[in-house]
């Protein structure tokens, strides 16, 4: 049962919710609705004064360009479900801002600056999605939709804090008397309170929910490395190859006879037998 048990306005712009779900406590940041407008302006400083819809367009171009060789107006129309005329209009505005080079034949290309701005927006989007999906356990569809809505209204600082917050929850999931202040300390210094590590040891409880051995991940799914166990030599080999806590790994495919598997991490392919992969505990992302 989830329920809000505390509700505090910590500044002009923020409201904080404390939630409980089962044994776990989560906090949630939200914007006080009234203050939204004021915040947008503050948060978007140096962001070329983009409207939310322009940001959506930039993001859409970036995402498409990651998957395809060229981006066409048609692609954006389809992706965002808007009219061609609106896309063309938006591209003009973005071109004026120096973010997009809109060429003939309906091809769109981001400028260097455009890539920078778009990546920042996209990163924010991903972080927000993770926050909603993993911390609040919102279903994937809602998380994606809501992440889109929030993303235009939140600045760099807040994003960074959110990433830290997610990390903090991962390592110190159970609250303590000074939980929030511990987080603040962590956000500033990066060091966690001692009891977090201790408790992990004492209870032997897996800190991260939904963790499983890498060997049992399905083909196509992604995970983040939590810990590596196993034989000295094998463990060291895995670590040296970049399988360190926090690394994102994707099970790309399995060999024709089911073993070994091909895992993508840090931009390269690594093949391991399931036996070796079982030494790696991952937190399932998707």
Partner 1 sequence: MKREIKVALAGNPNSGKTTVFNNLTGSHQHVGNWPGVTVEKKEGKFTYQGTEVTVIDLPGTYSLSAYSLDERIARDFLLHETPDVVVVIIDASNLERNLYLLCHLLELGTNVVLDLNMMDVVENQGIKIDTSKLSRILNVPVIETVANKNEGMEGLKVAIVTAAENKRSPTFKIDYGKVIEEGITELSELLKDKALPRGYTLRWVAVKLLEADPEILENVESLPQAQQIQKAALECSARLERRLGYDLETALVERRYGLLEGLVRECTERHLGVERRHEISDQIDRVVTNKLLGIPIFLGLMWLSFQLVFTVGSPLAGLIDSFFGWLGDTTSGALEAIGSPGWFSSLLAEGVISGVGSVLVFLPNILLLFLIIAILEDSGYMARAAFVMDRIMHALGLHGKSFIPMILGFGCNIPGIMATRTLKSEKDRILTILVNPLMSCSARLPIYVLFAGTFFPERQGLVVFSLYLMGIVLAILVARLFKSIFFKHEVAPLIMELPPYRLPQARGVLIHMWERGSLFLKKAGTIIAGGVVLIWLLAYFPLHAEYASAQSLIGKLGSFVAPLLKPAGFGFPQAAVALIFGILAKEVVVGTLGTLYSAEGVALKAALLQHFTPLSAYAFMVMSLIYIPCLAAIATIKRETNWKWTGLAVGYSLILGWVVAVLIYQIGRLL
Rounded least distance, CB 225 to partner 1, Å:
9
Q: Which is nearer to partner 1, 138 or 241 (CB)?
A: 241
Tokens linked to 159: 């994003």
- Our finding on whether 211 is near partner 1 (CB under 8 A) is no
- Our finding on whether 69 is near partner 1 (CB under 8 A) is yes
- The alpha-helical segments, DSSP class H, found in 81-217 are 84-96, 112-130, 140-151, 156-171, 179-189, 194-203
Burial class (CB in 10 A: 0-12, 13-18, 19+), 49: exposed
- Our finding on whether 257 is near partner 1 (CB under 8 A) is yes
Residue 114 CA to residue 107 CA, distance in Å, equals: 15
- Our finding on whether 198 is near partner 1 (CB under 8 A) is yes
Query: Considering CB under 8 A, how many residues would be counted as binding partner 1?
Result: 57
Q: In what order do the strands lie in the sheet with 100-102?
A: 71-72, 107-110, 100-102
Burial class (CB in 10 A: 0-12, 13-18, 19+), 243: buried
Residue 101 CA to residue 112 CA, distance in Å, equals: 10
Task: Out of 2, 10, 178, 255, name the contact with partner 1 by CB under 8 A.
Answer: 255
Rounded least distance, CB 131 to partner 1, Å:
21
Q: Which is nearer to partner 1, 112 or 218 (CB)?
A: 112
Binding mask 74-113 for partner 1 (x = CB under 8 A): -----------------------------------xx-x-
- Our finding on whether 270 is near partner 1 (CB under 8 A) is yes
Tokens linked to 54: 């322009």
- Our finding on whether 22 is near partner 1 (CB under 8 A) is no
Residue 173 CA to residue 170 CA, distance in Å, equals: 6
Q: Map the footprint of partner 1 across residues 228-247, applying CB under 8 A.
A: 228, 231-242, 244-247
Burial class (CB in 10 A: 0-12, 13-18, 19+), 277: buried
- Our finding on whether 260 is near partner 1 (CB under 8 A) is yes
Whether 259 contacts 215, CB under 8 Å = no
- Our finding on whether 227 is near partner 1 (CB under 8 A) is yes
Instruction: Give contact residues for partner 1 (rule: CB under 8 A).
Output: 62, 65, 68-69, 109-110, 112, 114-115, 119, 171, 190-192, 194, 196-198, 200-201, 227-228, 231-242, 244-247, 253-260, 262, 266-273, 275-276
């Amino acid at each position: 049962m989830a329920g809000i048990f505390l509700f505090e306005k910590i500044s002009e712009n923020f409201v904080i919710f404390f939630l409980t779900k089962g044994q776990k406590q989560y906090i949630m940041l939200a914007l006080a609705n009234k203050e939204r407008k004021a915040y947008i302006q503050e948060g978007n400083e140096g962001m070329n004064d983009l409207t939310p819809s322009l940001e959506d367009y930039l993001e859409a171009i970036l995402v498409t360009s990651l998957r395809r060789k060229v981006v066409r107006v048609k692609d954006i129309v389809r992706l965002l479900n808007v009219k061609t005329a609106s896309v063309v209009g938006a591209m003009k505005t973005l071109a004026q801002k120096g973010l997009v080079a809109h060429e003939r034949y309906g091809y769109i290309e981001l400028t260097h600056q455009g890539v920078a701005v778009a990546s920042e927006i996209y990163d924010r989007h991903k972080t927000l999605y993770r926050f909603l999906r993993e911390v609040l356990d919102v279903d994937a569809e809602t998380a994606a939709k809501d992440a889109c809505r929030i993303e235009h209204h939140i600045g760099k600082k807040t994003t960074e804090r959110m990433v830290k917050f997610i990390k903090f929850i991962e390592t110190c999931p159970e609250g303590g008397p000074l939980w929030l202040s511990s987080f603040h300390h962590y956000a500033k210094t990066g060091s966690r309170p001692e009891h977090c590590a201790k408790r992990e040891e004492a209870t032997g409880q897996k800190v991260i929910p939904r963790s499983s051995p890498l060997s049992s991940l399905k083909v196509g799914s992604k995970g983040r490395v939590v810990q590596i166990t196993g034989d000295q030599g094998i463990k060291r080999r895995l670590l040296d190859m970049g399988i360190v806590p926090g690394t994102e790994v994707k099970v790309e495919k399995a060999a024709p006879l089911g073993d070994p598997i091909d895992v993508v991490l840090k931009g390269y392919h690594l093949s391991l037998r399931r036996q070796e992969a079982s030494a790696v505990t991952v937190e399932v992302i998707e």
